[in-house]
Structure 1
Amino acid sequence: MEDLKSFFEKQLNKKINIYPYKNQSLDANSHLVTFNDTVYVIDFLDENNLDNLNGHFYLIYQPHIDFEYLKGIFYNLYDDINIMQQSSFFVVNSKYNLDINVTTQNIIETETYQSTYIFYLGELDNKSDFNFRVQLCSDLLPHIVKDNAKDKFLNLFDLIRYKTLDLINKDDVLNRLIDFNKIKSIDEELLSTGIKFINNDLNISKTSSDMFLHRNTLVYRLEKINEILNLDLKNFENAMIFYLSVKSYFLYKKI
């Protein structure tokens, strides 16, 4: 497909997306061509101009991104998509909400042997919002990578969560209110247990199974956290304060 795309781009002297025609609806800027008895759709694109693009946007990040190779993967997985490059991100755009998720991320990692992060930016209809969200992802990316979370597919709620942690780090009042010295004195395994308990929806059984911990051991650790920090993680508000404080410590305070 890439050879065919290159051929048409040279002939037309324009950047295009090309994909097989499967009786899908066409835009005004879409054209049908027949090549070797196969019908294709050609969309004309300006890769450096997002002004006329709208719909759902996804950013893909890898440490050593191979743009052309990733294009091949996505064109094989999805139809009716626009593909662009923005800063260090590979961008996928579609009129429809694609089934891009953590499974897609796993497929890409298997194909490329690289750690892969996918950000769903939502449905956008203007370049300003797109640029804002791309910049936000770029700013938060080092902390997201450092967090080393299991799930590398992130949506807008995840960006809010990481931005909140970033704001905590930069706010002098919050930094004075959170006792980072006490947190630093606590065994990291104990702190991680509390985070995993919160990530598992404050569910004892789910967390003990996920961590291969005996239920009584998990309960003991949660009680120990309450004893040291006076935060009962079975209480939502206490759990929220613990999560924001400890995650902020892990991402920004640890040397």
Structure 2
Amino acid sequence: MQSLIEFFEKETNKKINMFKYNNEKITSNQNLIEFNNTTYVIEFLKDSILNHVNGHCYLFNQQNLDFDSLKNILNNLYEDVQIYNYNNYLLLVSDDILDIDCSTPTIIESETYSKTYIIYLEKITNIDNLDFKINITNELIDIIINDSNTSKFITLNDLIMYKVTSIASNNKQISSLIKYDIIKNIDKNLLTTGINFIENDLNISKTSNMLFLHRNTLIYRLEKIKEYLNLDLKNFKDAFIFYLSVKSFLNFMNNYNS
């Protein structure tokens, strides 16, 4: 499908959206074509998204994007949304914030059998801002996918954190200030526990329930982190330094091993 879209974009010199025809009403910027005994809708994007994007935008990322299947699933889940094949993502635009959260990728994966990441770009009113946020996402998508601790629902705040840790791991001056030599020798379970504790709002009960750990085991691990790194994760500043240090370290190691 993607190669067919690229062919028509080259022939028409216009950005297009393309999907199987299901007897829906055809608008003025759409045309029908036959290909391999299947009818498709070609939708020229100039009059739809490129000039008139205005709404809450969600990017759906799958390694091998099956746009038609994913679009059908989302149309069954949500009403009054616009869906586009845009820059190798499925882009969903809605006038209102949708009930999309950390559980949504699991629902989609049960239908598509493909690992799914959703990036919520918040409300966007012009194409330049959309493309800017997509470019940032493109820079970070490999880091997001390689982060085994991450949720598959990514907010704009998450993108900021990923961008900051990416800068830290690639900046020699910042990297030289981080205790990589100590972090690399710490048991990964301790590091993962610390990250989850921070992502669960520094809440002992919430984190222990999520990790299926006894409360005392969690407290013991936090004390070991304090012993190794002199960072008390119940303190905001120490928690921030730990989060930045460990995330940038893991990003550095992923880049090193790739």
TM-score, L = length of structure 1: 0.81
1:27 aligns with: none
**Superposed counterparts of 1:48-63, under 5 Å:** 50-63=50-63
Checking the alignment, whether the CA contact within 8 Å between 1:197 and 1:203 is kept in structure 2 is: yes
Checking the alignment, whether the CA contact within 8 Å between 2:61 and 2:117 is kept in structure 1 is: yes
2:23 aligns with: 4
Amino acid at match of 1:235: N
For 1:108 and 1:212, the matched residues in 2 are separated by 26
Checking the alignment, whether the CA contact within 8 Å between 1:60 and 1:91 is kept in structure 2 is: yes
2:152 aligns with: 152
Deviation for aligned residue 1:213:
2.4
Aligned CA distance change for structure 1 residues 150 and 207 (closer, same or farther; 3 Å): same
Deviation for aligned residue 1:65:
0.9
For 2:216 and 2:140, the matched residues in 1 are separated by 37
When structure 1 is superposed on structure 2, of 199-208 and 157-166 the one drifting more is: 199-208
Deviation for aligned residue 1:96:
2.2
When structure 1 is superposed on structure 2, of 139-148 and 46-55 the one drifting more is: 46-55
Deviation for aligned residue 1:164:
1.0
For 2:251 and 2:65, the matched residues in 1 are separated by 25
For 2:249 and 2:180, the matched residues in 1 are separated by 7
1:47 aligns with: 45
Deviation for aligned residue 1:150:
5.2
Q: RMSD in angstroms over aligned alpha carbons?
A: 2.1
1:187 aligns with: 187
Matching of residue 112 in structure 1 with residue 112 in structure 2: yes
For 2:152 and 2:179, the matched residues in 1 are separated by 30
Checking the alignment, whether the CA contact within 8 Å between 1:84 and 1:91 is kept in structure 2 is: yes
Checking the alignment, whether the CA contact within 8 Å between 1:55 and 1:124 is kept in structure 2 is: yes
Question: What is the DSSP-based 3-state SS (H/G/I as helix, E as strand, rest coil) of the residue aligned with 1:173?
Answer: helix
2:29 aligns with: 14
Deviation for aligned residue 1:47:
2.6
Checking the alignment, whether the CA contact within 8 Å between 1:47 and 1:85 is kept in structure 2 is: no
For 1:55 and 1:209, the matched residues in 2 are separated by 36
**Superposed counterparts of 1:218-237, under 5 Å:** 218-237=218-237
Checking the alignment, whether the CA contact within 8 Å between 2:59 and 2:91 is kept in structure 1 is: yes
Amino acid at match of 1:125: T
Aligned residue pair count? 224
Deviation for aligned residue 1:191:
1.4
Checking the alignment, whether the CA contact within 8 Å between 2:63 and 2:115 is kept in structure 1 is: yes
Which digits, 9 at most, give the CA deviation of each residue in 1:231-252, with x for residues without a partner? Answer: 1111111011011101111122
2:240 aligns with: 240
For 2:146 and 2:160, the matched residues in 1 are separated by 17
2:216 aligns with: 216
For 2:82 and 2:43, the matched residues in 1 are separated by 8
For 2:211 and 2:44, the matched residues in 1 are separated by 49
Aligned CA distance change for structure 1 residues 177 and 59 (closer, same or farther; 3 Å): same
Checking the alignment, whether the CA contact within 8 Å between 1:2 and 1:72 is kept in structure 2 is: no
For structure 2, the residue ranges without an aligned partner over 5 or more in a row are 1-19, 32-41
Question: What is the DSSP-based 3-state SS (H/G/I as helix, E as strand, rest coil) of the residue aligned with 1:51?
Answer: helix
Amino acid at match of 1:46: F
For 1:151 and 1:223, the matched residues in 2 are separated by 26
Checking the alignment, whether the CA contact within 8 Å between 2:116 and 2:152 is kept in structure 1 is: yes
For 1:86 and 1:160, the matched residues in 2 are separated by 22
Amino acid at match of 2:191: L
Deviation for aligned residue 1:178:
0.4
Checking the alignment, whether the CA contact within 8 Å between 2:169 and 2:251 is kept in structure 1 is: no
Question: What is the DSSP-based 3-state SS (H/G/I as helix, E as strand, rest coil) of the residue aligned with 1:56?
Answer: strand
For 1:155 and 1:223, the matched residues in 2 are separated by 30
**Superposed counterparts of 1:114-153, under 5 Å:** 114-149=114-149, 151-153=151-153
Question: What is the DSSP-based 3-state SS (H/G/I as helix, E as strand, rest coil) of the residue aligned with 2:169?
Answer: helix
For 1:206 and 1:93, the matched residues in 2 are separated by 33
For 2:132 and 2:145, the matched residues in 1 are separated by 20
Amino acid at match of 1:14: N
